[in-house]
Amino acid sequence: MKIARLIFLLPVLACLAGLAAADEGMWMPQQIPALASRLEALGFQGEPEAFADLTGQPMGAVVSLGGCSASFVSPEGLLVTNHHCVIGALQYNATPERNLLEEGFLAKTKAEELPNGPGSYLYVTTEVSEVTGDLARRLTPDLPDRKRYEVVDRWVKERTAACEKDGSRCRVSPFFGGLRWFEIRQLEIQDVRLVYAPAAGIGNFGGETDNWRWPRHGGDFGMFRAYVGPDGKPALYSKGNVPYRPKRRLAISPDGVAPGDLVFVAGYPGRTERHKTYAEIAEMTEWELPRDIRRATELLALADELAARSPDLEIKVEARRRGLANGLTNDRGVLEGLVRGGVLEKKKAREAALQAWIAADPKREEEFGGALPGLDALTADAARTRERDDVFDSFVGGRSSIMEAADTIHQMAVNRLKKDADRERDFQEREWTRIRERLDRMQRSLDPVLDRAFLRYTLVEASKLAADGRIERLDRAVGLRAGMTCDEASKAIDAFLDRLYAGTRLFDREYRLSLLDKTEAELREAKDSFLDLAAALYPFGEQLREEDKTRRGARYRLEPVYMKALLASSSGLVAPDANGTLRVTFGRVSGVDARDGLYYKPQTTVQGVLEKEAPGGEFEAPKPLLDAIAALRAGKETPYRDAALGDVPVDFLSTVDTTGGNSGSPTLDAKGRLCGLLFDGTYDTVVSDILYDPVRTRSIHVDSRYLLWVLTEVEGATRLLEEMGVGK
């Protein structure tokens, strides 16, 4: 397939010199050739153009798991990623009698490899093409904002449909706030199976105590395998499928890294907000993050209480618990950086400088002057109803799996009557299989006790809304009103939940899936309490969607102008904010001055596992790992001992620029070998997602030698080692 080779120097930047400071930049692969001089200065001897070849080496081996990244490491579709990226597969296959979340898993043969369950996909990006001009021809300055949204929405659907005619999975995404648009073509593999995950005492060693912290001693690695139909084409899970044979794969380095080494990370970072306006970041600081921290704290306590009731509930709630805990730590770090770290004030100063730059030239004022005030007005407008809108989104959007299922089923019925191009994007025909799989997969973690507890939490939030910001349709259904005492609201909520859960059959998998083909009239005839509630709330949901579409239309008008000004006032090539697409970042293995008088060394070893090891908690290491370390101390030879460290390395720090979604990304050495896996950042610099800290920002990786040593000495995984081409 022909690869789009783009030289991504924006016209507005063509006359500007210099490169991005320090190691900042989650670069599009097509931008890397323009960074050749910087890479050469860092000692890179390879060809920067190789990164722009998305089907070549190494980029053709890097894949997205839809939230995490991974890479092929064998000719038979074996993938390596993080342990925390295989948690869903472990939970899906775990039982109280065989708790894979704690024990881990190793398939001795391909026949023993476990299905991840419905909805497990991986994506290999094969082509990226700029399509900005095609959209520009459809837009005129006089378009009303709601109409502008419709034009963009219809265009995205048409391009996506045309791109997917050959069986690819495609997306059309804005970069730089819609100043540039790119069409991204991907190979979609639909059968992904669990091959290996270490015990929790290796993969999650240190738990939440060490999360986002350094020094770390976690073996955050796991393995999947990709399968396809006997004809070699992507196919849904079937016992008759065969291992996928990738065109590209990464060699795993037995040498690991050393301080000062140049490393690259290729993966799919989720989201950064470095180009957001000050008003948007202020809204995040003053309301969004405090709300998220409060909620996560309360919901985590609720999840812990529920998990303590039974081993079955503990397994079903575990993925939610880990997600809440991880997000809570991250949000606290970001908020501290914004407030105590002064990032919010720095953001304000930078925006003031931009405004002064615009005002200094009448032509710039004419072209760019209205963008920031317009965007700030949109932020203020959304803030007026933020409490109400957020509670509603939480209520129908996943806090309760059954409520989310009911809302999905109802929206499917509404959208099915429309032509595909007129449907909401999430309910177009290309999404129907995924919707069915999502409603199928939830069965493994579904429980009435859990579901009711989390839905009740959101109803309590709804009961506390101010009188001028109520969700009236929900109030009528539950029996709530403004000014109720907590006791009155609790009684009304509990009575409502009794009726709601007594009147539904949606916990039944087959029944739930059968409803996806029903009409609105047939759903009403079912007289299911959750479906009736979804129908009653639907008009309010439509109202919010309409308001959002108008705001998005305004953003399609204003954000490109703002970004053009921001880029024109900058110096050098600039990376777009992360948006879940394939990126490359580079830096060096390096420690950091953490705070006054404290320096973090760039590497840790298995000695740190022994020093932290404590039975009965987050630092309880499994006996096979302790035995392997004891054998190492007794003189057992291993090729994975670092001569300079005198020990087997575990994790290392580097200056690469990464964020959530990069988890599982391969860390490559200067020869293009996999020398580690990216899995975390450091707590005091997570705010770099908003304003990059060129001095202290570090990413955390697990060393390839720890992976190979554990597979050899702890797991005895000879079959996997041989498959990856690793000698004894």
Domain boundary among 189, 213, 240: 189
**pLDDT tens by residue, 313-327:** 999 999 899 999 999
Question: Angle, to 10 degrees, between the axis of helix 529-568 and the axis of helix 486-502?
Answer: 110
Q: Report the predicted TM-score, pTM, of the whole model to 2 decimal places.
A: 0.93
Q: For residue 716, what are its two tokens? A: 């005895």
Domain boundary among 167, 189, 211: 189
Banded pLDDT at 2 (limits 50, 70, 90): very low
Look up the domain containing 344 and give its range.
278-556
- Mean predicted confidence (pLDDT) in 282-290: 97
For residues 336 and 221, state if they share a domain.
Answer: no
Under a CB-based contact definition with an 8 Å cutoff, are residues 288 and 704 in contact?
no
Taking the C-alpha atoms of residue 232 and residue 217, their distance in angstroms, rounded to an integer, is 40
Three-class SS state of 127 = strand
Q: Is 109 exposed, middle or buried (0-12, 13-18, 19+ CB in 10 A)?
A: exposed
**pLDDT tens by residue, 140-156:** 999 999 999 999 999 99
For residues 714 and 701, state if they share a domain.
Answer: yes
**pLDDT tens by residue, 167-179:** 999 999 999 999 9
Q: How many residues does the chain have?
A: 728
Residue at 575 is within a domain: no
Question: Angle, to 10 degrees, between the axis of helix 529-568 and the axis of helix 401-416?
Answer: 80
- Mean predicted confidence (pLDDT) in 685-707: 95
Banded pLDDT at 728 (limits 50, 70, 90): low
- Mean predicted confidence (pLDDT) in 30-59: 92
For residues 284 and 411, state if they share a domain.
Answer: yes
Domain boundary among 166, 189, 212: 189
Under a CB-based contact definition with an 8 Å cutoff, are residues 672 and 58 in contact?
yes
**pLDDT tens by residue, 705-721:** 999 999 999 999 999 99
Residue at 247 is within a domain: yes
For residues 530 and 463, state if they share a domain.
Answer: yes
For residues 21 and 159, state if they share a domain.
Answer: no
pLDDT for the residue 398: 81
Residue at 196 is within a domain: yes
**CATH number of the domain encompassing residue 725:** 2.40.10.120
**pLDDT tens by residue, 653-684:** 999 999 999 999 999 999 999 999 999 999 98
Banded pLDDT at 20 (limits 50, 70, 90): very low
Residue at 448 is within a domain: yes
- Mean predicted confidence (pLDDT) in 493-520: 98
For residues 590 and 474, state if they share a domain.
Answer: no
Which one has a higher pLDDT value, 10 or 294? 294
**pLDDT tens by residue, 297-306:** 999 999 999 9
- The alpha-carbon radius of gyration of the chain (Å, integer) is 26
- Mean predicted confidence (pLDDT) in 10-33: 59
Taking the C-alpha atoms of residue 342 and residue 345, their distance in angstroms, rounded to an integer, is 5
Q: For residue 645, what are its two tokens? A: 């460290």
For residues 214 and 140, state if they share a domain.
Answer: no
Residue 92 dihedral angles phi and psi, to the nearest 5°: -60, -35
Maximum distance among all Cα pairs of the chain, rounded to whole angstroms: 78
Residues 6+ apart with CB under 8 A from 201: 620, 621, 622, 625
Tell whether the model's pLDDT for residue 10 goes beyond 80: no
Residues 6+ apart with CB under 8 A from 697: 23, 24, 655, 657, 681, 682, 685, 688
Residue at 537 is within a domain: yes
For residues 548 and 629, state if they share a domain.
Answer: no
Q: What percentage of residues in the chain have a pLDDT greater than 70?
A: 97
Banded pLDDT at 596 (limits 50, 70, 90): confident
For residues 709 and 645, state if they share a domain.
Answer: yes
For residues 66 and 139, state if they share a domain.
Answer: no
Residues 6+ apart with CB under 8 A from 390: 291
The residue to which tokens 């709804």 are assigned: 462
Banded pLDDT at 11 (limits 50, 70, 90): very low
Banded pLDDT at 727 (limits 50, 70, 90): low
Under a CB-based contact definition with an 8 Å cutoff, are residues 191 and 128 in contact?
no
DSSP state of 577: P
Catalytic center residues: 84, 220, 663
Residue at 565 is within a domain: no
For residues 285 and 298, state if they share a domain.
Answer: yes
Which one has a higher pLDDT value, 135 or 727? 135
Other C-beta atoms lying within 10 Å of the C-beta of residue 415: 18
pLDDT for the residue 117: 87
Residue at 22 is within a domain: yes
Residue at 103 is within a domain: yes
Calculate the average pLDDT of the chain: 94
Q: Count the domains in the chain.
A: 3
For residues 542 and 623, state if they share a domain.
Answer: no
